[in-house]
Structure 1
């Protein structure tokens, strides 16, 4: 079968290859993949995975063989894969902990967009009550950012979305942002929670805008730059402020189910900024790296 595998060469980060058919264990279903969802991190930092391995974590498809031990979804079920290993292939053997059942009325392509981005946003925003809190989402035009803006707004927060340029602000107010900025200097607000996807100098700037008792959650470093805090910046009186890292790759079945339920209810929109065929994956990767896509990239598996 065909799959997208890790390529450490100059032509990378991924390439098509013929690979062996997956052999499910007793607790795994065999899923025919219909759509895959691309993520910045797994493509930009591809050398963290072995060359030649089937790549990708997010996808959606249909169960063609249920797990032999009776666990998980039945044959014919539509499912979303999130944070799952080896997801970018025509068929995948996967355990139920990495699956979410896709409700009627939810497009499988939208379900493929949830995965890492949606689960990351949901897990971070569940760390504290957000009702009537001030939340800052940096890199808000990306996949995690689009979900975070919506979910924070649903939780009752006052949401500020920070983007890199005015042209990346489109649609964020409609998703729930109360304010959209291109520079933190444009506001004097103090934030109870900052969800940062950018890294580099931005977390240090956001620290100075953090309210007493507030927290910055670092969920990405798309800038590729170092973060430096000026001397004395991290000292202060009052209720402690915190910085939290994020790298939770535990199975997301519960969160996928919650997210899919919100999509089915019309309360959450899957931010698909580019839809195409997986044969054009090289063009899609270049568009992702060039910041030409607002939201997620979803590719159809022929």
Structure 2
């Protein structure tokens, strides 16, 4: 089969370091008893994967978001049968014609959900769903969301607004802000410093200088949940700043994998929301998988709004 693998090389030029992948011939995956073999029809690429490609490790292959067809059911009899359309969340190796996916990370797809839509769900959708679950009830609460123009941000905006939150989205451009308003954002600003608090909850994914500014917008006793580091810049906090506003505030770190719920159940919930028109994957780019390398660069350089999906021809 054909699959994308890291070259382990990067070059510097006028642009920042750009990770590289190459299409290679590999054997089909060897399945564990609880894994199904999926013929991949579409996969999504994530900005975090572009960073990991800089130092990929000896055996790592990218690809955590796939949609396609079960061609071999898991040997232990679990999960969807052969011939079923599915969305899956393997831990890697999904940028390929075939992928091995644990049945605990598979959900069946109805006809109403296309493979490109489904491929945009796993990492971004699971992160958004579980982030809001970690935040607790959001109805009637004022929320500040930084880094809102990516796939996670779009899902968080739509889900939180549907639950009754008053959400302020921080995004880089008016065009991206217009779409977030359509999804339910009450307010859009282009710099976190322009956000008018106080907020009950801050969902922060930028890091660097943005996190202390976002923290200062919290009400007394509010909560900031840190779930990303898009700026790749370390955060410096002066804890005396708490006395200037967000006294008794709570800071939490979040990672979507730190939850007992199964991926399969949460993927099924996301699929159901899409199928019933209550969640809309933001497909910023859908193109043939031959364009994977160029798409990685554009995603890293923030030239793609929402999710980038490659279809396997």
Give the TM-score of the pair, scaled to structure 1. Answer: 0.94
Structure 1 residue 37, shift from structure 2 partner: 0.3
- The CA distance in 1 between the partners of 2:132 and 2:221, in whole Å, is 15
Residue matched to 2:176 = 168
Structure 2 gaps of 5+ residues are 12-18
Of residues 115-124 and 230-239 in structure 1, the stretch that sits farther from structure 2 once superposed is 230-239
- Work out whether residues 6 and 51 of structure 1, in 8 Å CA contact, stay in contact via their aligned partners in 2: no
The answer on 1:182 being equivalent to 2:190 is yes
Segments of 4+ in structure 1 off by > 6 A?
236-239
CA RMSD in angstroms comes to 1.9
Structure 1 residue 236, shift from structure 2 partner: 6.8
* 1:177-229 Cα distance to aligned partner (Å, 9 max, x none): 01111123334321122222211111100111012232222221111212112
Structure 1 residue 83, shift from structure 2 partner: 5.0
- Work out whether residues 78 and 103 of structure 2, in 8 Å CA contact, stay in contact via their aligned partners in 1: yes
Residue matched to 2:91 = 84
Q: 1:276 aligns with which of 287, 294, 298?
A: 287
Q: Decide whether aligned partners of structure 1 residues 51 and 279 sit closer, same or farther in structure 2, where only a CA change above 3 A counts.
A: farther
- The CA distance in 1 between the partners of 2:81 and 2:224, in whole Å, is 41
Q: 1:257 aligns with which of 259, 268, 273?
A: 268
Structure 1 residue 47, shift from structure 2 partner: 4.4
Q: 2:80 aligns with which of 73, 79, 87?
A: 73
Aligned pairs (5 A) from 1:18-57? 18-47=25-54, 49-51=56-58, 53-57=60-64
* 1:225-271 Cα distance to aligned partner (Å, 9 max, x none): 12112351145788731121123336521211111110011000001
- Work out whether residues 144 and 197 of structure 1, in 8 Å CA contact, stay in contact via their aligned partners in 2: no
Aligned pairs (5 A) from 1:190-269? 190-230=198-238, 232-235=240-243, 240-249=248-257, 252-269=263-280
Q: Find the residue that maps to 1:171 and give its secondary structure.
A: helix
Residue matched to 1:116 = 123
Residue matched to 1:4 = 4
Structure 1 gaps of 5+ residues are none
Structure 1 residue 48, shift from structure 2 partner: 5.3
Of residues 181-190 and 119-128 in structure 1, the stretch that sits farther from structure 2 once superposed is 181-190
Of residues 238-247 and 68-77 in structure 1, the stretch that sits farther from structure 2 once superposed is 238-247
Of residues 146-155 and 19-28 in structure 1, the stretch that sits farther from structure 2 once superposed is 19-28
Of residues 226-235 and 168-177 in structure 1, the stretch that sits farther from structure 2 once superposed is 226-235
- Work out whether residues 6 and 52 of structure 1, in 8 Å CA contact, stay in contact via their aligned partners in 2: no
Q: How many residues align?
A: 302
